């Protein structure tokens, strides 16, 4: 890894850390975006990023669940991973869809509280309404605008 590549990997690590992910996830994602070959084993990732193989293994699981990376079939015991095209978009869609759970929790809270607890009801109603809005209006409108932007700005 060149010094420029190392700086890029660190910058992506810091970016993802700033939005709530562990820095190591960002570093893995950054390296997988630029490495050659684009498929890397856990051992190769650990060596390139100078972290333990166990740490890479632990961090790669949520990346797979979020569809940022995919594990490739391999005849050997070594697992190989690569970035999923559009993975960051997919991750955001999954996160926005999870807002339904927040709306459901708030709705349940409203059913539990008595009518006299107006301040608490207002807070729960605000949470419910925000989560509903984010799961529908934001997700659909934002993703549609993103697709249009991407289509119009492809290099």
Mean pLDDT split into 10-residue runs, the chain, 155 residues = 93 90 93 94 95 94 89 86 85 80 92 84 93 82 83 79
Helix (H) or strand (E) holding 114: none
Distance CA 135, CA 130 (A): 9
pLDDT, residue 1, reads 84
Could you give phi then psi for residue 36, rounded to 5 degrees?
A: -135, 115
Quickly name the fold that domain 3-84 has: Arc Repressor Mutant, subunit A (1.10.10)
Whether the pTM exceeds 0.75: the reply is no
Calculate the CA 59 to chain-centre distance: 12
pLDDT, residue 80, reads 93
pLDDT, residue 10, reads 96
pLDDT, residue 135, reads 84
Calculate the CA 25 to chain-centre distance: 9
pLDDT, residue 103, reads 92
Distance CA 27, CA 44 (A): 13
Domain with CATH 1.10.10.10 in the chain: 3-84
Distance CA 127, CA 107 (A): 9
pLDDT, residue 155, reads 64
Residue 76 in tokens: 């050997």
Max alpha carbon distance in the chain (Å)? 64
Virtual CA dihedral for 76, 79, 80, 82, nearest 10 degrees? Answer: 150
Judge whether 81 and 102 are in contact, CB under 8 Å: no
């Amino acid at each position: 890894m060149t010094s420029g590549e190392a700086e890029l990997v660190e910058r992506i690590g810091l970016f993802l850390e700033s939005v709530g992910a562990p820095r190591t996830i960002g570093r893995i994602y950054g390296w997988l975006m630029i490495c050659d070959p684009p498929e890397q084993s856990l051992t190769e990732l650990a060596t390139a990023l100078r972290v333990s193989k166990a740490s890479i293994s632990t961090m790669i699981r949520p990346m797979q669940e979020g569809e940022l990376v995919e594990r490739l079939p391999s005849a050997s015991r070594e697992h190989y991973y690569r970035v999923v095209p559009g993975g960051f978009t997919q991750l955001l869609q999954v996160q926005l869809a999870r807002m339904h759970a927040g709306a459901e929790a708030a709705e349940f809270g409203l059913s539990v509280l008595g009518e006299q607890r107006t301040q608490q009801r207002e807070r729960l109603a605000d949470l419910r309404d925000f989560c509903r809005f984010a799961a529908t209006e934001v997700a659909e409108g934002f993703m549609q605008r993103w697709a249009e932007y991407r289509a119009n700005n492809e290099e």
